[in-house]
Chain A
Amino acid sequence: MSENPTTETTRQDAGGRAIIEARNVVKRFGGATAVDDVSIEVAPGEIYGLVGENGAGKSTLMRVLAGILTPDHGSVVVDGRELEAGSTRAALEAGISLVHQELSLVPELTVAENIVLGTTPVQAGFIKKREMKKIASDALEEIRVQVDLDEPIVRLSVALRQFVEIARAIARKPRVLILDEPTATLTPAETDYLLDMLERLAGQGLAIIYISHRIPEIFRICNRVSVLRDGHLVDTVSISDIKPNEIVDKMVGRELKQELETSRTKVAAGDVVLQARGIKAPGVNGIDLDVRAGEIVGLGGLVGAGRTELVRAIVGADIKSAGTVTINTDGTMRRVNSYRSAISHGFAYVPEERRTDGLALTMTVSDNIALPNRSQLSRYSVLMRGKIGTFAKELADAVGLRPPEIQREAGDFSGGNQQKVVLAKWLGRKPDVIILDEPTRGVDVGAKVEIHRLVRDLAEGGTAVLVVSSDLPELLDLADVIHVVRDGRIAGTLSRDEADEKSVMSLASGESQVRGL
């Protein structure tokens, strides 16, 4: 790492008036370091941006600040006093409010009840309704959102829920407000509204830490921005001293090139095998997509852009509200209208959530590999054990499972090797179309290279590959063409030659929109 965390600069900027500081915070999970020696300071009235790729450690750092996680080293200091580590209550009392990334409202309780949740005003155990509503309406007033206080959350739109969530944080009279990707589910108009609101709140002296993937938002409201990468603080700069593309550089500029041994040589793509037209589903607003035999099509974009929803709708794992999917392997177009029909027509789907959707962790590797291949491994519905053994062994070897013990439970293996098992079970079906969602998330570097090799081999063998990845170097390395998804639509398509980290990131974050500023 060439750049050092620039604590010097930070001090100068914030001076002695910082309200909250993270001092040398280290947080490990198991052997992994999610946040490594990060220090930040935020002053009252400041909007402090925090950016970084998925997995850079932003959310973990914020959870440390909010007392949800106990740091392994370092401390959180508010007004010069060290905060009790890992206590949500202490953090709340010190005036730190976190607006969670995933909504943390209770669906059947009312707006007012959710806003005061955990701090409900009571007298002898009874809820003081008038006071509760007063607190709630004050908080909503503060953010200038009108909503019926007696409405249960379940009847509100996703955007309104997000605002109620913010009202809840505001109701606690915070001095530091932390927002983790608050605009992920909002429309542009709603986002505008939210950003205006934050500027106004900062104007009243609130310190705001704002986490977002979306560069334009950072530029619009933040005074300073810190870039996190792989748990390290890369840089903290004043927003006037940096350009959008420089932030993108800092976010992605890592020394990844050497881990990708071979780049793919362009294969002459064959006929269109997978054709999706007008796909609509929750989070997907009408997408057309073609994948040719032997082609690797990448889907880039930010988390929450609708990529996972799109591929799940295509393969039929979730019900789509509109659109058609057809597959053409032998000259006839066949419409795919259920998940099982997709699988039986040569689809393979490697889901994003490997532990919950991909593997039966308490079963052996051999059994996991046999699961989708059972028809060819059984006769008269009786499993042929010997054949399963050799079949699974062969595939485990092909994907380079380590250790190559197919009779061990899948749960015993590392993330990378579990992912190899997921691949192995689909390789056994010799799929015509394979859809991979974040195939190397949480996978160590060695396994990553091997998984990339397998994906390339599949494409070279004529399989149509559709891959979703938030890992930019991976996407650039694998894909022949990249569709960048934003807000459930394809924001742009980049050929292999046009695509680089910046062009993808620009489309994904809407950075290109800021250039006019």
Chain B
Amino acid sequence: MSQAQGIQLGQEQGGLVSRIRVTIARRTEGRALALLILVAIATWITEPTAFTAWEVTLGRVALIGLVALGLTAVILMGELDLSVASTLAVCGVVMASIDNLALGVVAALAVGLIIGVVNAFFVVVVGINSFIASLGMLFFLRGAAFVISNEEPVRLASRDAGIAFGKPFLGPLTPRMVIFIVAFIALQVFVTRVRAGREFYAVGGNREAAYDAGIPVRRRIFTGFMISGFVAALAGVINTLERTAADPTAGSTVLLASFAAAIIGGVLLTGGRGSIFGTLLGATSLGILQVALTLTGVQVDVQNIVIGLVLLLAVITDPNSLRTVVGSARSLFQGRSGSHPVG
């Protein structure tokens, strides 16, 4: 019949401007970028030292961002790992309790992986919602950190290594920053170029389709939780080295900040949407914000308030939330009187 005449199904390939527009429209990091620009401008005006002392700012970004990067892997699959903060604490304590530094680091990282496996076990095999499974884990590990440490900070045996670790070793970059950058690149490559990482989007975005396409969904979920456990352990190791001691109560604000970074970064809590780069942007805005607040002499408590507010705003201004809010806000106040005679 009419093959020749065809039908217009695809889009026209446009010029440079429209290509750029398309590229921008495909990104999910809009909110993070907006916040970053806002924070950057405000900081520029009020406290430009946050930029001149950029090593400090970068250090803070690395502190906030590392755990968030690992967390993003899990959230992309529509799961949640609330146990990251106490994983950080436990792994730090485990590391400090072992006299041999190398052995301690290995043990800490191994514990992180095991925690990831256990979390994934409850989610995948037992079938508990990951919120609750990792919440139970959060409490359990918080206790475990106390038990292992005898409820007090554990001093690192090799203090020299710790002190050396706090010093710049690659130009102005401290090891923490280097590890953060490496972790960012590794995860960015993983979720954009590696098949397993790319399939995280399938697991989170359309799990049924992922099963049907023959993607090993369970294995992917295990991988995701192991990544977040490992990265949290890494953060614990870094903290312990820099402070030359492990605090069993460490990481209480890490949970808030890392969730805030990921959610601001456009990572959808129900999975399937977001990017590691977005999380980096989210962490960067929060880092600049914190440093600027500190420099202007704002107390830690107020900083927590600000970050809490940012997270609250981020989670309620999710595009999906906003779509439903129009309907429910209308019905909230309309009620039964919401109809009126016509004419």
Complex A–B touching at CB under 8 A: yes
* Alpha-carbon separation in the docked complex, A200 to B6 (Å): 13
* Alpha-carbon separation in the docked complex, A163 to B7 (Å): 12
> Are A334's CB and B340's CB within 8 A?
yes
Question: What's the tally of chain B residues with a CB closer than 8 Å to chain A?
Answer: 45
Q: Which of B9, B336, B337 contacts A146 (CB 8 A)?
A: B9
Is B170 interfacial (CB 8 A cutoff)?
Answer: no
Measured CB to CB, the closest approach of chain B to A490, in angstroms, equals 23
What chain A residues lie within 8 Å of B201 (beta carbons)? 106, 108-109
Report if A127-B195 is in contact (Cβ < 8 Å); known contacts: A106-B202, A332-B341, A338-B334: yes
Q: Could you give, for residues 301-336 of chain A, a 1 whenever the CB lies within 8 Å of some chain B CB and a 0 otherwise?
A: 000000000000000000100000010000011111
What chain A residues lie within 8 Å of B214 (beta carbons)? 88-89, 92, 118-119
Is A337 interfacial (CB 8 A cutoff)?
Answer: yes
What chain B residues lie within 8 Å of A144 (beta carbons)? 3, 6
> Are B7's CB and A190's CB within 8 A?
yes
What chain A residues lie within 8 Å of B2 (beta carbons)? 192, 196
Measured CB to CB, the closest approach of chain B to A390, in angstroms, equals 26
Is B16 interfacial (CB 8 A cutoff)?
Answer: no
> Are B342's CB and A333's CB within 8 A?
yes
Is A363 interfacial (CB 8 A cutoff)?
Answer: no
Is A360 interfacial (CB 8 A cutoff)?
Answer: no
- Assign chain A's interface to a size class: 35 or more
* Alpha-carbon separation in the docked complex, A479 to B7 (Å): 40
Name which residue of chain A comes closest to B212, CB basis. Answer: A104
What chain B residues lie within 8 Å of A118 (beta carbons)? 210, 212-215
> Are A113's CB and B331's CB within 8 A?
no
Q: Which of A108, A113, A163 contacts B273 (CB 8 A)?
A: A108
> Are B194's CB and A125's CB within 8 A?
yes
> Are B342's CB and A193's CB within 8 A?
no
Report if A159-B9 is in contact (Cβ < 8 Å); known contacts: A107-B205, A336-B339: yes
What chain A residues lie within 8 Å of B17 (beta carbons)? none
Is B198 interfacial (CB 8 A cutoff)?
Answer: yes
Report if A334-B339 is in contact (Cβ < 8 Å); known contacts: A125-B195, A126-B195: yes
Measured CB to CB, the closest approach of chain A to B336, in angstroms, equals 4
Is A358 interfacial (CB 8 A cutoff)?
Answer: no
Q: Which of A127, A148, A326, A338 contacts B198 (CB 8 A)?
A: A127
What chain B residues lie within 8 Å of A125 (beta carbons)? 194-196
Report if A189-B343 is in contact (Cβ < 8 Å); known contacts: A108-B205, A117-B209, A125-B195: no
Q: Which of B9, B26, B331, B340 contacts A155 (CB 8 A)?
A: B26
* Alpha-carbon separation in the docked complex, A333 to B22 (Å): 48
> Are B213's CB and A104's CB within 8 A?
yes
Report if A333-B343 is in contact (Cβ < 8 Å); known contacts: A163-B9, A340-B334: yes
What chain A residues lie within 8 Å of B340 (beta carbons)? 334-335
Is B52 interfacial (CB 8 A cutoff)?
Answer: no
> Are B206's CB and A107's CB within 8 A?
yes
Name which residue of chain A comes closest to B28, CB basis. Answer: A108
Report if A344-B336 is in contact (Cβ < 8 Å); known contacts: A106-B201, A127-B195: yes
* Alpha-carbon separation in the docked complex, A342 to B7 (Å): 43
Chain B residues numbered 290-343 whose CB sits less than 8 Å from any CB in chain A:
327, 330-331, 334-343
Measured CB to CB, the closest approach of chain B to A197, in angstroms, equals 8
Is A445 interfacial (CB 8 A cutoff)?
Answer: no
What chain A residues lie within 8 Å of B339 (beta carbons)? 334-338, 341-342, 344-345
> Are A196's CB and B3's CB within 8 A?
yes
* Alpha-carbon separation in the docked complex, A368 to B6 (Å): 54
What chain B residues lie within 8 Å of A334 (beta carbons)? 339-342
Is A147 interfacial (CB 8 A cutoff)?
Answer: yes
Is B1 interfacial (CB 8 A cutoff)?
Answer: yes
What chain B residues lie within 8 Å of A189 (beta carbons)? 7
Q: Could you give, for residues 338-363 of chain A, a 1 whenever the CB lies within 8 Å of some chain B CB and a 0 otherwise?
A: 11111011000000000000000000
> Are A338's CB and B338's CB within 8 A?
yes
A106-B205, A109-B198, A337-B338 given. 20 additional CB < 8 A pairs?
A: A68-B212, A104-B208, A105-B206, A106-B202, A107-B206, A107-B273, A108-B273, A120-B195, A151-B11, A159-B9, A189-B7, A192-B2, A193-B6, A196-B2, A334-B339, A339-B331, A340-B331, A340-B335, A341-B334, A345-B339
A-B contact pairs, 6 of them (CB 8 A): A104-B212, A108-B273, A117-B213, A119-B214, A152-B26, A334-B340
Instruction: For the complex of A and B, list the 7 residue pairs with the smallest distance between their C-beta atoms, beginning with the closest.
Output: A118-B213, A146-B10, A104-B209, A341-B339, A341-B338, A147-B10, A118-B214
